[in-house]
Chain A
Amino acid sequence: MRPITDLFDKRILFVTGKGGVGKTTVALALGVAAAAAGRRTIVCEVAAQESASRIFGKAEIGFHEVELRENLSAISIDPDHSIREYLELQLPVKAMGDLLYRSKIFNYLAAATPGLAEMVTIGKIWELALDERKARRGKPYDLVIVDAPATGHGLGLMQTPKTFAEIARVGPMAHQAATINKTITNHRKAGAILIALPEEMPVNETATLEAELIDSIGIAIDRIYMNAVYPQRFSAAELERIAAAQDDAMDAQAMALAAALDQAKRAAGHAEQLERLRELARTDVAELPFLFAPELGVEELDELAGMAAE
């Protein structure tokens, strides 16, 4: 498997996968790991979940670049603010941008134009990764990690520049869309990391998503993480002893033995799915363990970052 620091040398990493697989958690963990490796990193939330602020105990981040710790910032990107910023940057006269932004008709058109919301969102992501930032007071970043939406919408987001360049054909947006598409499909500069869960359907969906990202968009898939894998905690011989002891056990002890057997059964199922994914996917699959923590905090994130960077 390619060392993770190779991936951290890219400028944009999209983290995507089926809904509910832990994309946000892994994106943040990768951000923590990249920051620890000395990269000035920003994690972009696109789905407005505000998880970064919750975990790091900050106030809502919103459309601001907020520093979480050394080398690590976060931003929550929404189409409204992105459109506004885009207009400000495109139009020489600020008043003109304001006029447009406030006009009902413009907002209508913006809502009606297919892919415009995705386009300005990915435009903002691309802007964050520029050596010379366009946004006022924008700091430079070595790496932009995108906590992208789930499968279908995530694919849509990454596909938008290509589609948009084709629809608009001419004009500054078409031009910019083509530039962004070139950046995100440049395997030296950008890539995607897929997150899967050790269950039948997420494994199938991951393999399909991988194929689509590679074949129809041409984006590099740098790594797949199988997330929340139950570790095998007991050996076969130990499990035999546990099963044999069940008849004589009572109360909490009986429950503990049942829990151990249940754990082993799940771990075996997970190992099977891991093997399946490795067969189905073209990309290397790394493993992240299930964390038995009731709530995810900074401590768990640091733990996960260490493992994700292995």
Chain B
Amino acid sequence: MTAAGAQRARGAASIETMLEGKSICICAGSGGVGKTTTSAAIAAGMAARGKRVAVLTIDPAKRLADSLGLPELGNTERRVDPALFTEAGIDPGDGELWAMMLDAKATFDEVVRKHAPDEETRERILENRIYRQISNALAGSQEYMAMEKLFEIHSEGRYDLLILDTPPSRNALDFLDAPRRLTQFIEGRSLQLFIRPTGLGMRVLGRGTSVIFSVLKRVTGMDLIEDLSEFFNAMSGMVGGFRERAKRVNELLADPASTFLVVCGPAGEPINEAVYFRRKLREAELPFGGVIVNKVHTDGAGDAGRGGPADVGSLERLLGARDLATRVAANYEDYRALAERDAANIAKLGRQMRASAVIEVPYLSEDVHDLGGLFAINAHLFGGDPGPTGT
């Protein structure tokens, strides 16, 4: 980074400020913006500052494990070897870094075991084909289970800070809506009445409904209805437990000790999405911490391109070849164009929220896949302060 770049970074927003007094940090954002890496970097950075930190991720591609140099992560937290910190030149003091890769299916099973009134109900649910399908695949179940696990680990109180890397989704907002959708599904009140084959519901709902019912049978096949019926009947004793739990999870997320960070890329669309997401958080009365803009293009020297074009004549004198000078100048123009676009988008974002809420991370020229790489990101996330033992 140039002196000017470092100067700007020092005066800029810092994750540490954003997370002051927070015990839960939720990183949201659409797929492919570097959410997992950012979550891991924040966790490592806070651990390096003496905190006991756990980072939770859902990730079939084991990305977090990759970025922490762990061969695999199970459905329980595992501590990242402190020797890795030493190797990266960091002394974490009392700080600890734990990581967990969430297995949504296993978590769902745990929840069922916890809430089932008796063994028979438990087995009926776990064996039900509809259950097996939703616990794996229903949109929202991963998100719901992520929150469930977050809640559970938070209640145990073993960490100063929990960081949740939200499941990959097309749209950052899916995450907020998911628990509601899943609880609604599990409650299945109107449907329960309706599909209980010999229940009171059929008679009460009357003839119009039986037409719908027969058409549905025709479209979906009878067995599906029976499975659904069986599922809702088995789940009915647990609905209260789920609802109560969901309410408490929501309270936890809305607590002032929780914060949401939005991770996005520097192009126009992701920036608009970040603005939209903040508005939605505000509407839902959830605490917003800030935006991290990842992979920001710079002009090659670590600065956003605000200077003028290079002079081909001067470059020719330096390099001794016209052709090379022209190509170097053209490459620089490409860099400047992207840097200018990103700078304009970020300025637009800055106008929507206070400056201390926006953190820029440049598009680093090296791929991040170990603790050292995470600390390279932290130089930007933590406002130019590399940590207690950095140089």
A residues engaging B (CB < 8 A)?
18-21, 47-49, 86-87, 90-91, 96, 99-100, 103-106, 108-109, 111-115, 117, 149-153, 156, 163, 167-174, 199-201, 204-205, 208, 233-234, 238, 241-242, 245, 248-249, 251-263, 265-266, 269, 273, 292-295
**A19-B31, A20-B265 are known contacts. Are A253 and B223 too (CB-CB below 8 A)?**
no
A168: chain B residues at CB < 8 Å are 220-221, 223-224
From 117 to 140 in chain B, residues with beta carbon under 8 angstroms from any chain A beta carbon are 129-130, 133-134, 137-139
Judging by beta carbons under 8 Å apart, are B319 and A113 in contact?
no
Judging by beta carbons under 8 Å apart, are A252 and B324 in contact?
no
**A205-B61, A241-B324, A254-B301 are known contacts. Are A20 and B212 too (CB-CB below 8 A)?**
no
Judging by beta carbons under 8 Å apart, are B221 and A150 in contact?
no
Judging by beta carbons under 8 Å apart, are A173 and B170 in contact?
no
Which of B45-53, B87-95, B151-159, B303-311 contacts the other chain? B303-311
Q: Is B283 an interface residue (CB 8 A)?
A: no
B324: chain A residues at CB < 8 Å are 234, 238, 241-242
Q: Is B211 an interface residue (CB 8 A)?
A: yes
B195: chain A residues at CB < 8 Å are 109
**A96-B215, A252-B311 are known contacts. Are A151 and B265 too (CB-CB below 8 A)?**
no
Judging by beta carbons under 8 Å apart, are A172 and B133 in contact?
no
Minimal beta-carbon separation of B50 from chain A (angstroms) = 29
A252: chain B residues at CB < 8 Å are 307-311, 332
How many angstroms from the CA of A156 to the CA of B134 in the assembled complex?
12
Judging by beta carbons under 8 Å apart, are A20 and B301 in contact?
no
**A105-B209, A111-B185 are known contacts. Are A292 and B365 too (CB-CB below 8 A)?**
no
How many angstroms from the CA of A20 to the CA of B307 in the assembled complex?
30
Judging by beta carbons under 8 Å apart, are A151 and B367 in contact?
no
B138: chain A residues at CB < 8 Å are 114
Q: Can you pick out 16 interface pairs between chain A and chain B where the beta carbons lie within 8 Å of each other?
A: A48-B170, A96-B211, A106-B216, A109-B216, A113-B224, A152-B168, A171-B220, A172-B221, A199-B367, A200-B367, A204-B62, A233-B327, A245-B319, A259-B300, A260-B328, A263-B300
Judging by beta carbons under 8 Å apart, are A294 and B341 in contact?
yes
How many angstroms from the CA of A249 to the CA of B318 in the assembled complex?
7
Instruction: List the 4 closest pairs (A to B, CB-CB), nearest first.
Output: A20-B32, A19-B31, A171-B221, A259-B300
A199: chain B residues at CB < 8 Å are 367
Main secondary structure of the interface of A (DSSP, over half): helix
> Could you say which of A104, A167, A170, A201 contacts B63, with CB atoms under 8 Å apart?
A201
Judging by beta carbons under 8 Å apart, are A156 and B137 in contact?
yes
Minimal beta-carbon separation of A35 from chain B (angstroms) = 25
**A233-B327, A269-B365 are known contacts. Are A258 and B301 too (CB-CB below 8 A)?**
yes
Known A168-B220, A258-B299; further 7 A-B contacts with Cβ < 8 A: A105-B191, A114-B130, A167-B129, A168-B223, A200-B369, A255-B310, A294-B340
Count of B interface residues, CB-CB < 8 Å: 77
Q: Is B111 an interface residue (CB 8 A)?
A: no
How many angstroms from the CA of A106 to the CA of B87 in the assembled complex?
59
> For chains A and B in complex, what number of residue pairs have CB atoms within 8 angstroms?
219
Q: Is B244 an interface residue (CB 8 A)?
A: no
How many angstroms from the CA of A87 to the CA of B219 in the assembled complex?
8
B308-344 near A? 1/0 per residue, CB < 8 Å = 1111001100111100100111011011011011000
B residues engaging A (CB < 8 A)?
30-33, 36-37, 60-63, 66-67, 129-130, 133-134, 137-139, 168, 170, 181, 185, 188, 190-191, 194-195, 209, 211-212, 215-224, 227-228, 265, 268, 299-301, 303, 307-311, 314-315, 318-321, 324, 327-329, 331-332, 334-335, 337-338, 340-341, 365-369
How many angstroms from the CA of A95 to the CA of B386 in the assembled complex?
67
How many angstroms from the CA of A295 to the CA of B345 in the assembled complex?
12
How many angstroms from the CA of A47 to the CA of B170 in the assembled complex?
7
Judging by beta carbons under 8 Å apart, are B190 and A259 in contact?
no
Judging by beta carbons under 8 Å apart, are A152 and B60 in contact?
yes
Of the listed residues A117, A259, A262, the one surrounded by the most CB atoms of chain B closer than 10 A to its CB is A259
Judging by beta carbons under 8 Å apart, are A253 and B331 in contact?
no
Query: Which residue of A has the minimal Cβ distance to B205?
Result: A105
Of the listed residues B222, B334, B369, the one surrounded by the most CB atoms of chain A closer than 10 A to its CB is B334
Judging by beta carbons under 8 Å apart, are A255 and B221 in contact?
no
Minimal beta-carbon separation of B370 from chain A (angstroms) = 10
Query: Which residue of A has the minimal Cβ distance to B301?
Result: A258
A257: chain B residues at CB < 8 Å are 315, 318, 328
Minimal beta-carbon separation of B2 from chain A (angstroms) = 9
Minimal beta-carbon separation of A237 from chain B (angstroms) = 10
